[in-house]
Structure 1
Amino acid sequence: MFCAPPQPLHPSLRPRPRPLWPAPRCSNSNEAQPSPSPSSAAAAGGIRRLVLTPEGRAKLDPRPDRDFYAFPRLVTHVDDGFIATLTDLYRERLRAGCDVLDLMSSWVSHLPPEVQFGRVVGHGLNAQELARNPRLDYYFVKDLNKEQQLELEGSSFDAVLCTVSVQYLQSPEKVFAEIFRVLKPGGVCIVSFSNRMFYEKAIGAWREGTAYSRVQLVTQYFQCVEGFTQPEMIRKLPSAGGSSASPLDAVMRLFGVAGSDPFYAVISYRNFRPM
């Protein structure tokens, strides 16, 4: 599936968020450890098994991701329907006053505009994009395919969000172990995605997969880390009625240039889901 040219949005900017620099060092000893063998027992937050093969982690474009994202892309990578569905999901799952980590973020976070959060920390690969995100209080730049440890305190966030970016992670097991570490007990992680991607930068397991296999892949990312709750999947597909059922439209949707974007989200909690 090829990524369609994204649609620019008109920016409405607030004062720029502050960079989280220098980032606080981790003080929690439950850091993600090197990936164990599949037979190793894992404590809470430890990696139980590897999900991807070496081939599944490979990208067609081997250049460093920092080079690929060197210039800001002040665009959205999914359509308005996807964004509205995602914002409604955040409205349902994120309570006012909670602390949020927006992982692999950009210049927009799609959070409900009427909800006031305790703090929102953004992470990404382009400082200019992050500086223009009006919902971020702080931000930091880090290539998670080079080094996965987040220089953030353990058990410090109520929610971790990852929007249309999980397909680029080459070491998802270690990243999800870090997500577990920085979440508070009962904290939620929401991973959302569609069928669009920068094809040359997506990992092989994602490029060669189907919608079903991609959902299963993200589910396994949660399941490979000891302590996450059973993942929950949410799906919203475009209507098949009317002209969208024509063969031409189906072919165009295949290349991401027509039709609505399907919405997928996989959700899990650290240790337990709060009542």
Structure 2
Amino acid sequence: MFPPGFFDRADPSPDHFFYAPPRLVTHIDDQAIAAVGVLYQELGMTGEVLDLMSSWISHFTDPPERLVALGMNQVELAANPQAHEWLIHDLNHTPRLPFDDNSFDAVTCCVSVDYLTQPIEVFTDVARVLRPGGLFVVTFSNRCFPTKAIRGWLYSDDASHLEIVKRYFEAADGWAEPVTKQCIPPGIPGDPLYAVYATAL
């Protein structure tokens, strides 16, 4: 489904080296951040929510009842005011999530899917930890750390990125048909924002 080398990266070193220095910055502009919050609100992201590849901000307009932030940097995660709990976990090293089956009502991944080297395994395990009918919402823009993004992402345009994430859902086990959305399309000043989401079976 994906050609050889698609998931290679310019910097193949363990990710914990790259993410060791805290980066308390935003990776998309304010308009895109607001669009993420609006999308979460429209989709009813409430209850117990897992924020994958998280940092110091989770972009919820209305924070869920319980938010678990999973990421790579302790300082960033500890600074997240919306997180009730947080933990360090490297998905590229261990795609299996450290949670029981049916643990969450929803899962989010904001502007980080382009760094996954084993996305099919991760998406399959997200379906495992979601309760039936729960949503996995993946949002992204056109910014990245180029040395850590996978080659297939770097050599694709934004329209292709939507198709790539859609194919992740289709290749993984446990998902209904994914939906693609341009939350902020190209041509509007500022960062574009795209979303792909699907419901766990």
Q: Which residue of 2 aligns with 1:262?
A: 192
Q: Per-residue deviation at 1:149?
A: 1.0
Q: Which residue of 1 aligns with 2:52?
A: 103
- Secondary structure of 2:6's counterpart equals helix
RMSD, aligned CA: 1.3
Does the 8 Å contact 2:124/2:174 carry over to 1?
Answer: no
For 1:200 and 1:225, the matched residues in 2 are separated by 26
Q: Which amino acid aligns with 1:124?
A: G
Aligned pairs for 1:1-275 (under 5 A) are 51-96=1-46, 98-112=47-61, 115-235=62-182, 236-239=184-187, 259-271=189-201
Unpaired stretches in structure 1, ≥5 consecutive residues: 1-50, 241-258
- Secondary structure of 1:94's counterpart equals coil
Q: Per-residue deviation at 1:116?
A: 4.9
Does the 8 Å contact 1:94/1:159 carry over to 2?
Answer: no
- Secondary structure of 2:126's counterpart equals helix
**TM-score (normalizing by structure 1):** 0.70
User: Which is bigger in relative contact order (C-alpha 8 A, separation at least 6)?
Assistant: 1
- Secondary structure of 2:147's counterpart equals helix
- Provide Cα deviations, 1:148-174, integer angstroms capped at 9, x if missing partner: 111101111010000000000000010
For 1:68 and 1:53, the matched residues in 2 are separated by 26
For 1:227 and 1:106, the matched residues in 2 are separated by 27
**TM-score (normalizing by structure 2):** 0.95
Unpaired stretches in structure 2, ≥5 consecutive residues: none
For 1:95 and 1:85, the matched residues in 2 are separated by 14
Change (3 A) 1:116 1:56: closer
Q: Which amino acid aligns with 1:270?
A: A
Higher CA-based Rg:
1
- Secondary structure of 1:186's counterpart equals strand
- Secondary structure of 1:62's counterpart equals coil
For 1:148 and 1:53, the matched residues in 2 are separated by 20
Does the 8 Å contact 1:191/1:266 carry over to 2?
Answer: yes
Aligned length: 200
- Provide Cα deviations, 1:113-165, integer angstroms capped at 9, x if missing partner: xx352211010000110001011111111111111111101111010000000
- Give every structure 1 segment of 4 or more consecutive aligned residues whose post-TM-superposition deviation is greater than 4 Å: none
For 1:78 and 1:116, the matched residues in 2 are separated by 19
Is the strand fraction higher in 1 or 2? 2
Over the matched positions of the two proteins, sequence identity in percent amounts to 43
For 1:59 and 1:205, the matched residues in 2 are separated by 9
- Secondary structure of 2:142's counterpart equals coil
Does the 8 Å contact 2:123/2:172 carry over to 1?
Answer: yes
Q: Per-residue deviation at 1:227?
A: 2.8
Q: Which amino acid aligns with 1:267?
A: Y
Change (3 A) 1:116 1:110: closer
